[in-house]
Structure 1
Amino acid sequence: MNMTEHLADKVVAITGAASGIGLACAEACLREGATVFLVDRAADKLESLAASLGPKAIPLEVDLLNPASVATMMPRILEKAGRLDVFHANAGSYIGGELLDSHPDDWDRMLSLNVNAVFRTVHAVLPHMVERKTGDVIVTSSVSGHEPIHWEPIYTASKNAVYAFVHTVRRQFAKHGVRVGAVSPGPVMTALVQDWPKENLDRAIAAGNLMEAKEIGEAVIFMLTRPRNVTVRDIVILPAGFDV
């Protein structure tokens, strides 16, 4: 075993793994020797990614907004790999800007993905981890889950819900040997920031106040490789000049 393969023999599943933070975290886990299920609805992209990432990257098409599709996720993981050591609920979407400039129907879709899909997928994987008396659950939250960001009120509200969920579930499941934590980035260069108000995005780019997604992947590896008696409850990662 390569001495850097800290996750060798581990099975990881990551939602929203076809791009952005999810893909960066999948790549980081693969580098550490894990078998990684790339969970996303973008079937064609998953197949091409899995082909390029190697045999330990396994595509798993799931529509996180469809409860029937979500219900197939864990059985298919167990059928292919026999167990799941790490679940990373990463998928999310973004709506920012003035409240009256966005529509409640769009909020509903974002809330379904950012909140309900996180709750549902974590609920789906926990029985297996409780049975094995070990496991890790990581949720991609946001700095806006810790500090209200005034230009993204609905998104901030969704991440506050995630924050509350992560830390109540963490306390419930610690007794079962399951660690639960959140990684909370500031602005990251992904497709999500393209939905920012243009003036905010232009200002952030000009000031260098955006991070690369690989920074989040490295933080997740740090969380996963702590001794089992240590839980990293939260990691908040900000560009050095980002002011909240």
Structure 2
Amino acid sequence: MGKLTGKTAVVTGASSGIGAAVAAYLAEEGANVVLAARREDKLEEVLSKIDGNSIAVVTDMAKKSDVDALAERAVETFGQIDIYVNNAGAVLGSRLQDGKTDEWDQMIDVNIKGVLYGINSALPGMLERSSGHVVNVASVSGQEVNKVGAVYSATKFAVRALSMSLEKELARTGVRVTNISPGQVDTEIASKPSDRKRLEPGDIARAVVYAVTQPDYVNVNEITVRPV
């Protein structure tokens, strides 16, 4: 029996990369898993490889109605949401002088508002039960800034700020909060070349599993995972 048997986890951005790995690792620990992303074909492909109780729900995290419907489907199917992994993210043009305001809007909508919508949809049930875990996947770009990533970094700084504030807000409620900041990960959205081996999606998934399988009185607030 896995450490998460009987628990239900929602994983956003689960159609590939980190999200797909997180969903698979949580399922291996016995969790019921609800996979969410926009690409139905990719979601179904990931779902077919997961053992255990799992469903896929096509979801655009930039749309509050979609995010609310995702939570409703999870509760209808499995009874409640115990773990919510805000992993969906957009990495687009971030240099301010390029003026790509449409791409900035998309990153803000997914990376910030999507996280807020996810928290809002799952938190009431967690508070009612005095139990639950919100995991926000940020980035080392939310700790350090370079000259070509202003807007993306700003969104990931925001995710870290939300995580830090939420942890304080929920102190002694029984609901835990973890912020995970990956370094360069070998996924389909990785762009710039690297002179060292990138992390694998499974490396981040193991960090998620570590955080959510701690005893109820242990709140792992911050994990940064970098390649050597």
Q: Common fold, TM-score beyond 0.5?
A: yes
Q: How does 1:155-174 map to 2 (within 5 A)?
A: 155-174=152-171
Q: Which runs of 4+ in 1 moved over 4 A?
A: none
Paired residues of 1:96 and 1:153 also in contact (CA < 8 A): no
2:88 alignment partner, SS class: coil
Q: Which residue of 2 aligns with 1:212?
A: 200
Match among 147, 171, 179 for residue 182 of structure 1: 179
Q: How does 1:52-201 map to 2 (within 5 A)?
A: 52-96=49-93, 98-101=95-98, 103-194=100-191, 201=192
Q: Which residue of 1 aligns with 2:25?
A: 28
Percent of pairs identical after alignment?
A: 35
Which deviates more, 78-87 or 93-102?
93-102
2:125 alignment partner, SS class: helix
The alpha-carbon deviation at position 96 of structure 1 amounts to 4.8
Paired residues of 2:4 and 2:29 also in contact (CA < 8 A): yes
2:171 alignment partner, SS class: helix
Match among 37, 41, 46 for residue 38 of structure 2: 41
Gaps of 5+ in 2: none
The alpha-carbon deviation at position 209 of structure 1 amounts to 4.1
Match among 214, 220, 239 for residue 227 of structure 2: 239
Cα separation, partners in 2 of 1:213 and 1:141, compared to 1, 3 Å: same
Cα separation, partners in 2 of 1:102 and 1:210, compared to 1, 3 Å: farther
In structure 2, what residue type is equivalent to 1:18? S
Cα separation, partners in 2 of 1:54 and 1:31, compared to 1, 3 Å: closer
In structure 2, what residue type is equivalent to 1:213? P
In structure 2, what residue type is equivalent to 1:211? L
Which deviates more, 92-101 or 165-174?
92-101
The alpha-carbon deviation at position 49 of structure 1 amounts to 2.3
1:182 alignment partner, SS class: strand
Cα-Cα RMSD:
1.4
Match among 168, 188, 209 for residue 221 of structure 1: 209
The alpha-carbon deviation at position 102 of structure 1 amounts to 5.2
- The number of equivalent residue pairs is 228
Distance, in Å, in 1 between the alignment partners of 2:225 and 2:99 is 28
The alpha-carbon deviation at position 97 of structure 1 amounts to 5.9
In structure 2, what residue type is equivalent to 1:217? A
Paired residues of 2:27 and 2:52 also in contact (CA < 8 A): no
2:36 alignment partner, SS class: strand
